[in-house]
Amino acid sequence: VDPQIFVLMWIMIFISFLFFLSLIFWTKDTFLTGPSAKEEAQPKSFTREAIAWSKLFRVIWSPLIFICFFAIYDSFFYTIGPLMAESYQGIGIYSGLILAAYWVPTFLVSMFTQRLTRRFGKKRTAYFGLLIAALPLLIFFVGDSPVLAAAIFFVSASFSSFSVPAISSAYTDYINEAHKYEEEIEAISDFLDNLGYIVGPIIAGVLADRVGYEFSFGWLGIGLIVTLLLLVKLTPKHIRISNRVID
């Protein structure tokens, strides 16, 4: 890969960061109105924030771990998926169909998620959706054709597409049940989500360099299966926040 591409990437990131700082500076007082605005704008201390995060993690540790591993799963497809598609010889422009096979189910399957969550619960729908999505990835240990890759991507994405709306709905319930922890719940879930998208490409790159693209997806499948089986076994049926029960 041309090193100039990475130099240009960091330049664009730096410029974007400058725009972000400018946006914060010019809009920091926009929504501060009313007598209590100054009080509400006061940031919480690091100690109080850390304690709140610690308490929340002890309660909703399972959905938080799940959202991190889902981000790792998703980042694999965006990181080494295009490289694997380009590595197949003789398919030319049709290599894009391999990635399309991962995106299409998102629009087709998610509309049925509500029916599943009503029957099985939100957490179980999310967990088993990603668990079943991990199983087809094991086929990469024994096959590596472009048609097979597209089929695996499609089947895997068809089941993982249930997970995002299901777990998002669960987080909405947590926030509704504990309004005073709304900011903390959003912050810690975003942190774990971002952590997954940071760690995922690193793991994908290391595995691809050591074992190749197809085997990288296979090892991803093994890691997800082990993790999700543990989550299914150890996660309580109901998670309590405040004084009420959340499914």
pLDDT (tens place) for every residue of the chain, 247 residues total? 445 555 565 676 667 666 666 665 665 454 444 444 444 445 566 677 777 778 888 888 999 999 999 999 999 998 998 888 888 877 776 777 888 888 888 777 767 777 777 788 888 888 999 999 999 999 999 988 888 999 999 999 999 988 888 888 887 777 777 777 778 888 888 889 999 999 999 999 999 999 999 999 999 999 999 999 999 898 877 776 664 444 4
Considering the entire predicted model, what is its pTM? 0.77
Supply 173's token pair: 């319930």
Report, at the CATH architecture level, how domain 60-246 is classified.
Up-down Bundle (1.20)
**Is-contact 202 76, C-beta < 8 A?**
no
The Cα–Cα gap between 35 and 199 comes to 43
The residues spanned by each domain of the chain are 60-246
User: How far, in Å, CA of 80 to CA of 84, rounded?
Assistant: 6
- Label residues 41-72 b or e (16+ Cβ within 10 Å = b): eeeeeeeeeeebbeebeebbebbbbbbbbbbb
Per residue in 214-239, pLDDT tens?
Answer: 999 999 999 999 999 999 898 877 77
